[in-house]
Structure 1
């Protein structure tokens, strides 16, 4: 009977290698189907075959397989041999440049260059030559021909430089992908593996995989919820940031849903399980992230596509030039073989190969100087196509922490007296609202340590205590209605604050309401100007996607100038909405910061994460990370991308035109090796200098016209 096994794969360096591994496994006897997910670094095999047999098919890349129960061996960037080979290759290249500059390109300089090429690119050459043998023309084939061609014409330094740049890009791509995979796998490590479950009349520890729908589990204060369910006993506040992204904990009482991975902050909860562990919201989020990444078609670089046509054409043309005139037009064999060799030299795609990397590397360096981390050239290119930007709210457009916005007093009480009473009662609470109020009072240097007696906390509702013999109550509207009555005026004020999407803390005695404090998540100072800058760049479609309620979301959208709002969204709904935008033909960027944004970040054409506040998974899933939570870099990233795309097109056109002009000299028989060398070197130099123009990228100031951003 056939079985399905899923293995974690360690050692992938490129998508082509993953595809080759998949094809090798499919040809194994007993394998019915095999599918590799390169982004998640997994392979799923259906059939009757052992792990050892599957692993042998990846020997060409030294791949290792791990089952879900095995600990995956992790290696740092500096412990990998490829890193040290690249560094040694770079040192040899620099040594070659030095020797070349002092004594000329003599034997010693050539030895340094050749050593740099061999150490940095021997695996590239092996695969490239194998591809040539099997008539496969991909990027490695193109790189191999470029380096061999450079060596033939004596451009050892140029060939070694191309190898070194390619080795660096491969090393960084491998490192970035492995970090992303480890981060996704670590999500399960952050959730409890066992839950306190009611079985046979007592509470016992049970593995979460063995918990069934309908079981009852206990969650103590400070513990994470182990599995999706609904509260059947107790009350508490739950920090749902891991699921909804909202910073303010949500009150949970009997009948309310709770999600695996969220944090129980205060009370004891008894929860009835409504979903199996593999069906929990968190488990689905992890699965969605992996699937979204695997579904995203990796856009083949233009050079890769063009190489499948360009390289064989050049070989055929060179061969034809060498033999056709002597055979059919009485040409002199020696002259036309020389012309054919010149065609091979001029056709050497050094300039074409370097036309894109030199622009990408320069742009990535410029972006890094301005606090933008781009995880590869493809994401830089995709950013230039963006026409719709979707934002998460909390921690992205807002600061993610509640702050005091309004103080309302029912009578003539002094504000200082009112706030010191509230702060004295709340100073021992860790609830975010209480922390915000105490901080507000501390900043005013008011006394907040008045003696409190008979203190009592009703979990998830409010607190009470006596100060100077008077009993005070602090809490939400529903809590205070059980203690005191609201006047019509007080009710009107509460309604006004609700319409402004603010959270209330009400102070009252049993006689009357004394006052209330309004809090809300504060909008980042730069959010409005960033949205305005995007509109000026021609990006008219800006959308707010949030798990918060409609009223709060609309208030934030109005403040920053966002044109469309989608509220009350769960993570999978954010992802579905982003996918619908892509299906309609739009190029979408998603800007977020939390675990709940990871699926949407992976689904968008370009996923962008806020650096400091972002969760690990969001950061690793995103294609672009704004360091230090600086959203003002978004317009700069878009403009840099657009200019990079323009320069890449210029470089490709320039390199091909110069090659074509040189090849046209074959017709009158004027092409010589010297002309071929000059054409090749000239094209390489021009595309390099053109790419380096991206170093002039200047920082965007969001309050200025965007056309001042890059000069």
Structure 2
């Protein structure tokens, strides 16, 4: 019997940059039974795929040997890889125990901060006592150097033992020891202190990026009010079970995903989806955990446990996305593995060639060679891409834009064509009354008669008529003997008279339609609308037109895509007349009457033309096309399908989120280019100034630390990204 691969996730504390992640990755791949490793520095997680012979305790020890802390995500049993998309029950539970505890600690009391403070105090003491006792100056600076260098050197040796000989700590150790050998111990101690300061600042920045997405967890209230057997009692929100009925008072945060079972009111979804306008919720409507009940008491039936609610899944999805490296990040990783040994070679050549060939001074050129090692530290370079990607993924997630990894985030900016589903994507997904045409009765009377017949019906057209009657405050007197006529409509008594509501064809069998009425109905049909005729007392009382209308933001969103040079096309299974009407109104191409396999074929045809295609749909009936597209974007309200199937998902049903997501991708890629330019540009400048003798050891490491801080700070700017749709229309330039 062959072993089945399984997957486990662990929380790892102390990783502050991509170099840390690479060391952990390399060390864990050496463990027996480990098949694959995915490390997310920004999320503080490690996902391991493993088979027979894997020992979780050995993994924790291996990570501990590198100087980091590790623990399994609580209750997260390894899952079969075949069911990878299934929610991991323990992922969210472990969140607060491990990583959140680390994030909650004050950075100034962490081990790196304590080591930095000790090195600073030792260096300050060496300067002070050395000035008073010149004879002890060299031993004092050697002691100050040892305070900071010994832990760094130990990490270098440990990393080398577990597969990473060319680490940043190795470069630092060689440079510091070399400086001592040529009598520059004062500079060596200063360099080590600056290195520790840089590491500490990296830790602060990494903690901020980590907290930006984990902060979503704080949106959940700790308790919930459960209603059972006529009593209301307060329980822990984590203990809520499926089907439980909870009571949410006005102003309270909703403690769990659920469906409204009683009550109606406004719910503020901004904390979860970024939707700025509160949404009206009534019986049967879904609600998200962490959102705020606005104005009235709601009773909800719980539909997801604490470990699998919307917020838990968002956090888990973003963490897993951060574990999936983008193409640029993978390239930088490969480059850094060659780059660091190359720096050692260049440093050695600079130190030896001029004295041997050009008759230069050994001490001068060894000093310059050591400075080259410090300039070459790849800290800023290796953090330049993952910091930007992590910040971009977090910024998007906090606004309901979910992308599964850096590769997706990068690819979005290269899209040239967007193919949309119609129903539920470009349109609201349900019919609404668009026209009420008077006949023998006035328009309000026509609406009242239709609403009277439709009371109690759950048909989509009936619900649309009832919703319009409620909005217009049209009276709907009770009907009697109302019954459906299969294939025709509904008939019943209203106010002592027989009323029929149904299709124009069925109405024509009961009363003669005038030429003018036939033409009006035909015109409405041409606009993709469904017409229901009201017949009363042997005459046409009037008729009502209904259509699945475009979303309010669809036209402006498509205009933005067109302005950015993207092609848009609608792929729908609806009839050509309805599809054409919506497409004409929105200004995009349309292909109608399509089966799922037809949509997939059209996506393939577009790709064959050299276009990079994103397919936007509901994640269910568009599955083949979503899979075939270069990028599949699911449009849904936090459902399993929306969060687990496509490459990206948007939590609220706004078409505007598509151009926003593409804009975020371009913003992130621009940020990455700036970061790489900063990291390499500063190194190039200081390489030249060091060779010509203008700068030495401590300016070299200061340049690397400065570049790391600049790159990280630039990436963190993405956390404040705001979609253009939230900024309002751009001013018109005169």
TM-score, normalising length from structure 2? Answer: 0.61
TM-score, normalising length from structure 1? Answer: 0.63
What is aligned with 2:199? 159
- The reply to whether residue 592 of structure 1 matches residue 617 of structure 2 is yes
Query: Aligned-pair RMSD on alpha carbons?
Result: 5.4
Question: 1:619, 1:625 within 8 Å by CA — same for their partners in 2?
Answer: yes
What is aligned with 1:645? 669
What is aligned with 2:88? 74
What is aligned with 1:387? 416
Alignment of 1:442-457 (within 5 A): 442-453=470-481, 455-457=482-484
Residue 9 to residue 52, structure 1, CA distance change in 2 (3 Å): closer
Shift of 1:413: 2.1
Residue 55 to residue 703, structure 1, CA distance change in 2 (3 Å): closer
Q: Deviations over 1:547-586 (max 9, x none)?
A: 3222212211111122x21223344443443344344433
**Corresponding residue SS for 1:317:** helix
Equivalent in 679, 685, 689 of residue 655 of structure 1: 679
Question: 1:145, 1:349 within 8 Å by CA — same for their partners in 2?
Answer: no
What is aligned with 2:445? 417
Q: Within 2, Cα distance between the matches of 1:628 and 1:419?
A: 32
Q: Within 2, Cα distance between the matches of 1:657 and 1:558?
A: 51
What is aligned with 2:333? 304
Residue 69 to residue 665, structure 1, CA distance change in 2 (3 Å): closer
Residue 78 to residue 599, structure 1, CA distance change in 2 (3 Å): same
What is aligned with 1:522? 549
Shift of 1:644: 3.3
Residue 556 to residue 530, structure 1, CA distance change in 2 (3 Å): same
What is aligned with 1:202? none
Question: 1:530, 1:632 within 8 Å by CA — same for their partners in 2?
Answer: yes
**Corresponding residue SS for 1:522:** coil
Shift of 1:531: 1.6
**Corresponding residue SS for 1:447:** coil
Q: Within 1, Cα distance between the matches of 2:462 and 2:160?
A: 64
Q: Deviations over 1:453-488 (max 9, x none)?
A: 2x3324565322234554433333455566566555
Q: Within 1, Cα distance between the matches of 2:171 and 2:597?
A: 46
Equivalent in 525, 530, 555 of residue 498 of structure 1: 525
What is aligned with 2:580? 554
Shift of 1:452: 0.9
Question: 2:432, 2:464 within 8 Å by CA — same for their partners in 1?
Answer: yes
Alignment of 1:569-588 (within 5 A): 569-588=594-613
Q: Deviations over 1:51-96 (max 9, x none)?
A: 9738679985989353879997833444337972464167353435
Question: 1:592, 1:618 within 8 Å by CA — same for their partners in 2?
Answer: no
- The reply to whether residue 536 of structure 1 matches residue 566 of structure 2 is no
Question: 1:6, 1:43 within 8 Å by CA — same for their partners in 2?
Answer: no
**Corresponding residue SS for 1:661:** helix
Shift of 1:308: 3.5
Shift of 1:343: 1.9
What is aligned with 1:208? none
Question: 2:422, 2:572 within 8 Å by CA — same for their partners in 1?
Answer: yes
Q: Within 2, Cα distance between the matches of 1:132 and 1:632?
A: 46
Shift of 1:398: 1.9
Shift of 1:405: 1.0
Residue 22 to residue 173, structure 1, CA distance change in 2 (3 Å): farther
Residue 638 to residue 413, structure 1, CA distance change in 2 (3 Å): same
Q: Within 2, Cα distance between the matches of 1:329 and 1:108?
A: 37
What is aligned with 1:275? none
Shift of 1:519: 0.4
Question: 1:662, 1:676 within 8 Å by CA — same for their partners in 2?
Answer: yes
**Corresponding residue SS for 1:472:** strand
Equivalent in 672, 694, 703 of residue 679 of structure 1: 703
Q: Within 2, Cα distance between the matches of 1:419 and 1:108?
A: 86
Residue 468 to residue 536, structure 1, CA distance change in 2 (3 Å): closer
Shift of 1:4: 8.7
Residue 586 to residue 54, structure 1, CA distance change in 2 (3 Å): farther
Question: 2:498, 2:536 within 8 Å by CA — same for their partners in 1?
Answer: yes
Shift of 1:331: 5.8
Question: 1:149, 1:345 within 8 Å by CA — same for their partners in 2?
Answer: yes
Alignment of 1:65-214 (within 5 A): 65-66=79-80, 74-80=88-94, 84-85=98-99, 87-88=101-102, 91=105, 93-95=107-109, 105-106=120-121, 130-132=162-164, 152=192, 154-162=194-202
Q: Deviations over 1:381-437 (max 9, x none)?
A: 33332322222222332222211111234x422333333222111101011110111
Q: Deviations over 1:260-290 (max 9, x none)?
A: xxxxxxxxxxxxxxxxxxxxxxxxxxxxxxx
Q: Within 1, Cα distance between the matches of 2:597 and 2:494?
A: 48
Gaps of 5+ in 1: 29-33, 45-50, 136-140, 177-189, 191-292
Residue 130 to residue 370, structure 1, CA distance change in 2 (3 Å): same
Question: 1:7, 1:43 within 8 Å by CA — same for their partners in 2?
Answer: no
Q: Within 2, Cα distance between the matches of 1:447 and 1:354?
A: 65
Count of matched residue positions in the alignment of Structure 1 and Structure 2:
558
Q: Within 2, Cα distance between the matches of 1:103 and 1:59?
A: 32
Question: 2:198, 2:709 within 8 Å by CA — same for their partners in 1?
Answer: no
Q: Deviations over 1:179-223 (max 9, x none)?
A: xxxxxxxxxxx9xxxxxxxxxxxxxxxxxxxxxxxxxxxxxxxxx
- The reply to whether residue 426 of structure 1 matches residue 440 of structure 2 is no
Question: 1:461, 1:475 within 8 Å by CA — same for their partners in 2?
Answer: yes
Question: 1:608, 1:626 within 8 Å by CA — same for their partners in 2?
Answer: yes
What is aligned with 1:405? 434
Q: Within 2, Cα distance between the matches of 1:303 and 1:576?
A: 36
Moved more, 598-607 or 346-355: 598-607
